[in-house]
């Protein structure tokens, strides 16, 4: 059983779409989970549907949504204060050291982050790379396991099938509530998923009731 799980992603809502079912499962087992969230997603294109955010109000709105989503999932939250859409230009080692500070304090048995190069968005790839670097810099004796989330289409051709594949139907409700907590983003992203026949609820269920990770080999 895990001791403490640390989730490291750059944007509010990354945790909800990518790992919330798995996170909820850990919480049901009483395992503490901390989300280290890189930015406030303040450069996001979605402004709510119908629109209720502006470029000026978006950072505060997304911060409130992030806090609400973490309450739904019953996890601790640390906001790291990076600027959205610029993480790839930050000093990688500096971010890794920042993350290391948290990891040394929290002493997780497991870290979940994006698989660098297979995470589609430059922020995702850069933050995932910094997280992998941070964990790799820990002493082998203290080093947590690392699960990497790859979302790039066709990733299996390079990486093979994910090592861990979870049916998260049992915690789907928590996951869906966490997604919906990100009000300014949810309808835009769910609308993008909702292409093709069938009800939105069923499509969302089909698409999101499965979470998969690669075990990182150091």
Interface with Zn ion by CB under 5 A: which residues? Answer: 11, 14
* Biggest CA pair distance of the chain: 51
Residue (of 143, 123, 141) closest to 133 by Cα position? 143
C-alpha pair distances (Å), 105 with each of 101, 139, 174: 6, 14, 28
CB of 180 to Zn ion, least distance (A): 17
Cβ nearer to Zn ion, comparing 31 with 189: 189
Cβ nearer to Zn ion, comparing 46 with 174: 46
164: how many CB neighbours lie within 10 A of its CB? 12
Cβ nearer to Zn ion, comparing 138 with 151: 151
CB of 69 to Zn ion, least distance (A): 13
Residue 181: HSE in the Cβ half-sphere, 13 Å Cα cutoff: 25
CB of 170 to Zn ion, least distance (A): 25
What is the number of the residue whose Cβ is closest to Zn ion? 11
CB of 179 to Zn ion, least distance (A): 13
Cβ nearer to Zn ion, comparing 11 with 183: 11
Q: What is the spatial distance between Cα 102 and Cα 175, in angstroms, rounded to a whole number?
A: 25
Q: What is the spatial distance between Cα 31 and Cα 136, in angstroms, rounded to a whole number?
A: 23
């Amino acid at each position: 059983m895990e001791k403490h799980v640390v989730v490291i992603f750059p944007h509010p809502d990354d945790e909800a779409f990518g790992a919330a079912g798995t996170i909820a499962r850990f919480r049901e087992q009483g395992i503490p989970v901390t989300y280290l969230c890189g930015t406030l997603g303040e450069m996001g294109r979605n402004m709510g549907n119908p629109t209720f955010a502006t470029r000026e109000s978006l950072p505060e709105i997304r911060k409130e949504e992030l806090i609400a989503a973490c309450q739904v999932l019953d996890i601790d939250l640390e906001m790291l204060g990076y600027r959205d859409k610029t993480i790839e230009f930050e000093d990688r080692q500096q971010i890794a050291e920042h993350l290391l500070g948290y990891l040394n304090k929290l002493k997780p048995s497991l870290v979940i982050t994006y698989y660098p190069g297979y995470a589609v968005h430059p922020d995702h790839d850069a933050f995932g790379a910094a997280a992998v670097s941070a964990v790799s810099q820990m002493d082998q004796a203290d080093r947590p396991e690392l699960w990497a989330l790859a979302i790039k289409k066709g990733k299996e051709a390079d990486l093979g099938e994910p090592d861990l594949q979870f049916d998260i139907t049992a915690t789907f409700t928590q996951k869906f509530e966490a997604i919906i907590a990100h009000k300014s983003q949810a309808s835009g992203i769910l609308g993008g998923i909702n292409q093709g026949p069938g009800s939105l609820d069923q499509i969302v269920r089909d698409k999101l009731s499965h979470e998969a990770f690669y075990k990182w080999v150091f």
